[in-house]
Chain A
Amino acid sequence: MNFYLLSVIKAAVVVGVLMLALLYLQWIERRVVARIQVRLGPNRVGPWGLLQPIADSLKLLLKEDLIPPGANKALYVLAPFLAITLSLISISVVPFGPRVTVAGVPTWMQLADLNVGVILILAISSLTVYGVVLAGWASNSKYPLLGALRASAQMISYELPLGLTVAAPLLMSNTLSLRGIVASQAHYYWGFFPAWNVFRGPFPQLIGAAVFTVAAFAETNRVPFDLPEAETELVAGFHTEYSSMKFAGFFMAEYSNMITICCLGTVLFLGGWLPPFPGLDAVPFVGPLFWFLLKTGVLLFIFMWVRATMPRLRYDQLMRFAWSFMFPVAMANLLITALLVAWVG
């Protein structure tokens, strides 16, 4: 099977699974948040409420699709497309597993392995600011504009700690390609302890992983950093004037960003598709995928857990937190990692 056909099949599979995941991530989130808040969550539509996302999608599809008067029509329609397209692109470089042989064809469980894969993900996540900014600008109304300016200032401020904490495991893994980063974590200490980047010398990236998680909350506009789209503060922030499928576009883009950042965190800090103890991924093709999904699922659960638990930060508290605390901590983490890698390696 030639390269192009194989790539198309892989892309179709990944996009299909991702779309399904987006749909049901919303259901999972609503149930998890509900249980943490001692209530049940949606459980009427279908068994355990499993048809709830489909009902929601139908409702959103059938809503009136309006464009506010005075809005810049082209940008207004472009913004949700941009948001969701950019957030889906970064999935293409994430490795889901090792080299497998599917129907006699050897291939990697990854759409494309770029030499500069990590920079691509960072670059695409810095482009997602445009979806927010253009949405707020094009709506021609004050709440969206304020929400958009705040959201974009927040997103670009937290890109710095995100980038710095991403750079530290790169120093330890000595490569920018995501496949290489997973491969560099593939050995085991003392025969059984996994050498994931959070655990391995010369500097275990525990602080780095924590700062990465917090910066990920801010990058994806999730609680406690969701002031720009909070209902009680700014009506609905930058997507106030959006309805029906365009609103669904922003919604999907937010979940898709969450999934991408959790996948990146898994690959960089938790060892990607590697099992915690040697030999546990003996089943080909399903074993590594199971471990990858488990680790990403844990990170996503942390996102939802924090959403159900923490109050949101005020805007000036949020910005001060980024510049006075996260940025120095991330820099210190990078400095210490660099010094130790240079000294030991």
Chain B
Amino acid sequence: MTAILFVLFAAVAIVCGINVVLRKHPVESALALIGTMASLSVIYLQLGAQFIAAAQVFVYAGAIMVLFTFVIMLVNAGAEEKSRGAWMARLAGGPLLVALIAILGFVVWRAFPGSEGVTFGGYTGGTAENVGRAIFTTYLLPFEITSLLVLIAIVGAVVLGYKELD
């Protein structure tokens, strides 16, 4: 059952990922990216990461992608025109990508040959309580620094978008 669900949602994720890259209109790419994030959230649930799965939907699909969709609609640029890329990119791009994925795949397959498989319920330590305890004890300093980082980002975004009312 775990395997069937994984294959199903992995297929959805890959198809949506291909759509993100190939669609001409940014709104369709954004929707495909939301589909990828939602299917990844299900895969996180399989891996026992309950809090991260919920946070993925909440933060990524519910906030970051809303921001993206907003900006796409505000800018209203329409579909992208075909551009004449450099001939070198078109020649070597495809094979280099295939090489990249081949190398990554080789490393992945060799590194974990006989490890026990993943079953739903195999790891129950991903609860909000565990994650919260780790964040607020072991990783407190990175947490505080990340909060400062978000504050800086917000201030930066406001400064960038500020319009003088004159």
Within 8 A of B (CB), among A109-140: 114-116, 119-120, 122-124, 126-127, 129-130, 133, 137
Contacts A116-B128, A176-B128; A126 near B58 (Cβ below 8 A) = yes
* A145 neighbours in B (Cβ, 8 Å): 73
Known: A115-B128, A156-B63. A127 touches B69 (CB 8 A): no
A116 x B54 contact (CB < 8 A): yes
Min CB distance, B108 to chain A, in Å?
Answer: 29
Q: Tell me if A88 counts as interface (CB < 8 A to partner B).
A: no
Distance in angstroms between the alpha carbons of A129 and B64 in the assembled complex = 12
Within 8 A of A (CB), among B1-31: 27, 31
* Number of chain A interface residues as a range: 20 to 34
B70 within 8 Å of A by Cβ?
yes
Instruction: Write the nearest CB–CB distance from A7 to chain B, whole angstroms.
Output: 14
User: With a CB–CB cut-off of 8 A, which chain B residues contact A126?
Assistant: 58, 62-63, 66
Q: Is there contact, CB below 8 Å, between A123 and B62?
A: yes
Does B47 make an interface contact (CB < 8 A)? Answer: no
Interface size class of B (residues with CB under 8 A): 20 to 34
- The one of A72, A115, A129, A153 in contact with B127, judged by C-beta atoms closer than 8 angstroms, is A115
Q: A129-B66, A133-B73, A156-B63 are in contact. Are A123 and B127 (CB under 8 A)?
A: no
A119 to B51, CA, bound (A): 8
Number of residue pairs A-B, CB distance < 8 angstroms? 56
> B154 contacts the other chain (Cβ, under 8 Å)?
no
Residues of A within 8 Å of B128, CB to CB, are 115-116, 119, 176
Decide: A123 and B50 in contact? CB cutoff 8 A: no
Most-contacted residue by chain B among A116, A120, A124 (CB, 10 A): A116
Q: 18 A-B Cβ contacts within 8 A?
A: A75-B31, A116-B50, A116-B51, A116-B53, A116-B127, A119-B55, A119-B128, A124-B57, A127-B61, A127-B62, A130-B34, A133-B69, A137-B27, A137-B73, A145-B73, A149-B70, A149-B74, A153-B70
Nearest 5 A/B pairs, CB to CB: A126-B62, A119-B54, A123-B58, A123-B57, A116-B54
